């Protein structure tokens, strides 16, 4: 397994706050890593650092290597060759992640033209094909819709289409289902699983929901107060949690989660 993403001693300071504290993570090509932690644990900032999307005035030290190439310290121009093309991101809030004034088909076609060099006509056709791939119902028609005309789940599908348009090696999903209804969440997670498996894309899945990450990721890293507390195979970490932060997350999840004794019904 080749190491695709290597984060080494990443430290991020915002103003006088230490948000990310010597974080080291690794992700192999085609593998799935879940980054789990409560709000404010620094997990989103970590993912933004990979894409060089940190706010102005952030102090960053450490190393982030993608396929051997160092990403930290690169200029915006150099990074834009990476964004969308090698690393893409899906965001949490489907309502704000899309341009409200542009039809979704055009938004999907954008990266297709930019990263795959397709002509406008070819990109439009490829956008429809991608819409089919992400399970957008009535793709020919919905591709011409504006974001506000779509439901949350549909918007998130569009977000996935945009992210995968450039055929990236790594997909970062930052709480992609948190704002969705539970039935829609189930659909989107299944879709994500399917897309990532078929394309062999590596997945960095960020969430606060243990039950979700257990479903999605092969390996997980538990983050709290900017530091990685423990990481390893999902079953290993959840079954034999070593760190108190992991134990606390598990306890909370079991207290508010679905009663484990209840058997689920198949629909």
Partner 1 sequence: MTGVWRSLGGRIGVVLVGLLLLTALVSLFWAPFDPTFIDPRVPWAAPLTGGHLLGTDGSGRDLFSQILVGSRITAFVAATATAMAGVVGVGLAVLAAVPRRAGGLVGQFIDVLVAFPTILTAMILAAVYGGSVWTAVVAIGIGAGVNVARVTRAEMSSVLGTDYVLAGRAAGASTARIVRRHVLPNVAPVLFVQLSLVLALAVLAEAALSYLGYGTPPPTPSWGRMLQELQQFVTVHPLAVIWPGLAITATVLGLSLLGDALREATDPRLRIARTTHAGAHPVPRPEVLP
Partner 2 sequence: MTAEEPLLAASGLHRRYRLPRARLFGRAGERHALRGVDLELRAGESLGIVGESGSGKSTLVRLLLALDRPDAGTVSYRGRPVVVGPPRSLRWFRREVQVVLQDPFASLDPRLRVGAIVAEPLECLRVPGDHRARVDEVLAAVELESDTRDRYPHEFSGGQRQRIAIARALAPAPRVLVGDEPLSALDVAVRVQVMDLLESLATDLGLALVLVSHDIGVVARLCQSTAVVHHGEIVEHGPTTQVLDDPSHPYTRRLLAAVPELPVWTDQ
Question: What is the contact surface with partner 1 in residues (CB under 8 A)?
Answer: 38-40, 92-93, 151-152, 178-181, 208
Judged by beta carbon, residue 99 or residue 181, the one nearer partner 1 is: 181
Q: Which residues pair with 64 in a beta bridge?
A: 7
Give the tokens for residue 37. Answer: 């932690």
Judged by beta carbon, residue 10 or residue 210, the one nearer partner 2 is: 210
Q: What is the nearest approach in angstroms of partner 2 to the Cβ of residue 254?
A: 7
The site partner of 93 among partner 1, partner 2, none (C-beta below 5 to 8 Å per kind) is partner 1
Judged by beta carbon, residue 179 or residue 214, the one nearer partner 1 is: 179
The site partner of 233 among partner 2, partner 1, none (C-beta below 5 to 8 Å per kind) is none
Judged by beta carbon, residue 45 or residue 165, the one nearer partner 1 is: 45
Q: Closest Cα to residue 223, out of 202, 249, 200?
A: 249
- Chain residues binding partner 2 by CB under 8 A are 38-39, 152, 181-186, 189, 208-212, 214-215, 235, 238-239, 248-260, 262-267
Give the tokens for residue 244. Answer: 């108190």
Q: Is-contact 4 202, C-beta < 8 A?
A: yes
Q: What is the nearest approach in angstroms of partner 2 to the Cβ of residue 3?
A: 28
> In b/e form, how buried is each residue of 132-162, taking b as 16+ CB within 10 angstroms?
ebbbbeebeebbebebeebebbbbbbbbbbb
Q: What is the nearest approach in angstroms of partner 1 to the Cβ of residue 178?
A: 6
The site partner of 258 among partner 1, partner 2, none (C-beta below 5 to 8 Å per kind) is partner 2
Q: What is the nearest approach in angstroms of partner 1 to the Cβ of residue 234?
A: 22
The site partner of 45 among partner 1, partner 2, none (C-beta below 5 to 8 Å per kind) is none
Q: Is-contact 90 163, C-beta < 8 A?
A: yes
Sign, CA torsion 177/178/183/184: negative
Contacts of 151 (CB under 8 A, 6+ apart): 184
The site partner of 189 among partner 2, partner 1, none (C-beta below 5 to 8 Å per kind) is partner 2
Q: How far apart are CA 180 and CA 207, in angstroms?
A: 13
Judged by beta carbon, residue 52 or residue 153, the one nearer partner 2 is: 153
The site partner of 238 among partner 2, partner 1, none (C-beta below 5 to 8 Å per kind) is partner 2
Alpha helices (H) in 64-151, listed in sequence order: 76-80, 94-97, 104-116, 120-133, 139-142
Q: Is-contact 169 87, C-beta < 8 A?
A: yes
Helices (H) and strands (E) in the chain, counts: 11, 10
Judged by beta carbon, residue 41 or residue 111, the one nearer partner 2 is: 41
């Amino acid at each position: 397994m080749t190491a695709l993403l290597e984060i080494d001693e990443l430290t991020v300071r915002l103003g006088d706050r230490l948000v990310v504290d010597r974080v080291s993570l690794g992700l192999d090509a085609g593998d799935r890593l879940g980054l789990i932690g409560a709000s404010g644990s620094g997990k989103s900032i970590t993912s933004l650092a990979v894409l060089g999307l940190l706010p102005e005035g952030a102090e960053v030290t450490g190393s982030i290597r993608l396929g051997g190439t160092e990403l930290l310290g690169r200029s915006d121009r150099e990074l834009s060759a990476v964004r969308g093309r090698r690393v893409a991101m899906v965001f949490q809030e489907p309502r704000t992640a899309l341009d409200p004034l542009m039809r979704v088909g055009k938004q999907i076609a954008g990266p297709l033209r930019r990263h795959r060099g397709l002509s406008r006509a070819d990109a439009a056709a490829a956008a429809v094909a991608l819409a089919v791939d992400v399970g957008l119902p009535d793709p020919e028609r919905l591709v011409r819709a504006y974001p506000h005309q779509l439901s949350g789940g549909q918007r998130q599908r569009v977000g996935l289409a945009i992210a995968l348009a450039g055929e990236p090696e790594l997909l970062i999903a930052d709480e992609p289902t948190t704002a969705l209804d539970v039935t829609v969440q189930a659909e989107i997670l299944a879709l994500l699983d399917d897309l990532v498996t078929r394309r062999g894309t590596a997945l960095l899945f960020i969430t606060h929901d243990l039950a979700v990450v257990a479903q999605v990721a092969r390996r997980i890293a538990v983050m709290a107060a900017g530091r990685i507390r423990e990481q390893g195979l999902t079953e290993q970490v959840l079954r034999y949690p070593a760190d108190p932060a992991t134990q606390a997350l598990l306890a909370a999840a079991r207290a508010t989660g679905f009663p484990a004794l209840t058997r689920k019904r198949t629909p």
